[in-house]
Structure formats: C-alpha cells, structure tokens
Structure 1
C-alpha cells in the first residue's frame, strides 16, 4: 500500500470513548481491515485521588470525548469509522475530508514513543546542546527513557544546580 498511516482524531459522545474504541476494534477485526486501521487509543493518565481521607489511584481520560486512530485514509476506512455508533465525526475544518495530526502534534501528545539512543550513562560528563542551558557542562544524575528526560547537575552561579532536559538536549563530552 502506497499511502502511509496517519493519526486522526475522532469526536465521540461524552463517555462513549471506550465503547467507540472497542466497537471499532471489533469491526476492524471482523472486516479484516488491520492494514487500513492500525491503532486505536483513548489516551489516559493515572491520577491519585483523595476522597473522604482515602487515597486511590484512578485512570482519567486526557481528552474526554475524543479517540485517536492511526489509519490509512480511504473511502472504506473513513466510512467504517464515521458510522460507528457514538462517533460524531472526525476533528477538522469540515466533515468531508479529515485532517491528520502533524508530526509535531503527535510528539506533543505522546501518542507514539520514539526510542532515543543515549550515548551517555549516569555519572558521565555531558555538554548541553539545546535549550536555555545550551553551552553548559554537567554530570548526568538520572536518565528516564520512558519520559524522554535526563537530570543533569550543572554549576551555575557557583552552585551545583540540577536541571531536567530532554534526552536529545545533551551529548557525551569527547
């Protein structure tokens, strides 16, 4: 297939996000459309809630009323998604042709995780090559590949100061 799959946002009735996602997954499986509709997700986050002096962890939807779908846009895939019960349509300027998310939007939403190769380890000296601390030299304290973050201690105004950066903002010193 020549066309590449892109991420699209589908608007649903409030509270129907999971129902729309599961119905769409079953429809894709039944019609053997896995090559057209590749991934369906309802972005959520875990939040600690304190209610009546009891702490519990709950899963909360990041975008209530929306479902993200990675698909190759064809008349068939558009029709299937559009006609799922609870789905009100694609997000975009009009309902005739859905607009895919840009690469930048996909990155900001954290929809797709890109594996970043890091050439440094905890304890290594690194140059900061981007951002407000560009040009500083520091020592790696912690690396969190899940969140794409690295904590580096730099010397600023004569004090050791920890700063948090994205993994690509630092490189190992030669």
Structure 2
C-alpha cells in the first residue's frame, strides 16, 4: 500500500519515551534523507495548573500517553525508518507481519491538532512583511490587513487590520488568510 499522499499516523511507544521517540524520528529522518517523506512529529501535550504545598505550578501532561503522531508519506522506506526507530513498538492500525497502517481520518487529526492549538491544514504560503492579505476566517473575516510578523514553524502570522479608525493587531493561522494577487 504505497501512497504518495501525506497523512497522519499514530505510533505506539513505550510510555514516558514519547519525546525521545519524537527526537529520534526527526534525527533519523534527517540523517537518512527522509525529509521529503517524514514531515511533522507531534507528542500531544496539555498544560494544567496544579496546587501543591500551597504553591501553584504548571504541569505538562501527555494527552495520549504512549502515543506519538507522525505526518508522513507512507512508502516502504519511510515505514521502515519510522517503524525501526528506538522506542517505537509499532503503528496503530497495522495488523502486524509488516502490513502498512491505516492513516487517521482527516476529522480525527483536525480535532486533535485544533485542541493543541496547531494549524490544521498544511497551507504553504510565501508571505513577506508588509504584504496585504485578506482574512477569510475568524472574527476579522472579510477584512484586509498588513502582515507584521511571520512564524513559519507554527504556521501563524500577525496582521494589522483597521477597525474604527484604529489599527488592531491579530494573530492568525495560515489557513485563515488568503493572499491577494
């Protein structure tokens, strides 16, 4: 089942080794020249506040202990690199004996990524500071604004829009905007 479409897959790992597995996959993808097949590796985490001994502190908990999400194009080579990464016990949705796993459904991964505050659609844009864009989603939908900051890693940008005669800054995901020609 070779697919040349990138999809999200779930890996089962030893509990407590999720971040180490993420680092290992990213390192192996780079060293084995698989960057065109293995794209993003995510360990879903959430931050909660706990009060212990009268002091409040932030605690980071794994949303799915023992699991890591990987966005990849499923080929024999990419499957082999990920499957044989130290700490990975297998793909979820694989029936063993070397069979390829089933990817997550778009609505499943969209829900997970949105809950983590990550960009859902992988929109590729080439933006420049000062460029005027149109906002197509969210509270400022329909307005145009100027790009003031770009964070390609998180697929987010800051845009100044004019409201009530004043400039207002807003942070948007790439999939909430449209480039003007």
Normalised TM-score (structure 1): 0.64
Please state how far the C-alpha of 1:120 moved relative to its aligned partner.
5.2
1:68-109 Cα shifts (integer Å, max 9, x gaps) = 000000111111111111110000151312110011101111
* Distance in 2, Cα, partners of 1:26 & 1:39: 12
Unaligned runs of 5+ in 2: 122-134, 142-169, 177-181
The alignment of Structure 1 onto Structure 2 pairs a total of residues equal to 126
Please state how far the C-alpha of 1:50 moved relative to its aligned partner.
1.0
RMSD, matched Cα: 2.6
Normalised TM-score (structure 2): 0.62
- Aligned pairs (5 A) from 1:72-151: 72-95=73-96, 96-110=99-113, 113-114=119-120, 117-118=136-137, 121=140
Q: 1:29 to 1:144 in 2, by over 3 A?
A: closer
* Distance in 1, Cα, partners of 2:94 & 2:29: 26
* Distance in 1, Cα, partners of 2:75 & 2:48: 37
Please state how far the C-alpha of 1:118 moved relative to its aligned partner.
3.0
* Distance in 2, Cα, partners of 1:79 & 1:93: 13
Mark the structure with the bigger radius of gyration.
1
Unaligned runs of 5+ in 1: 123-142, 147-166, 168-174
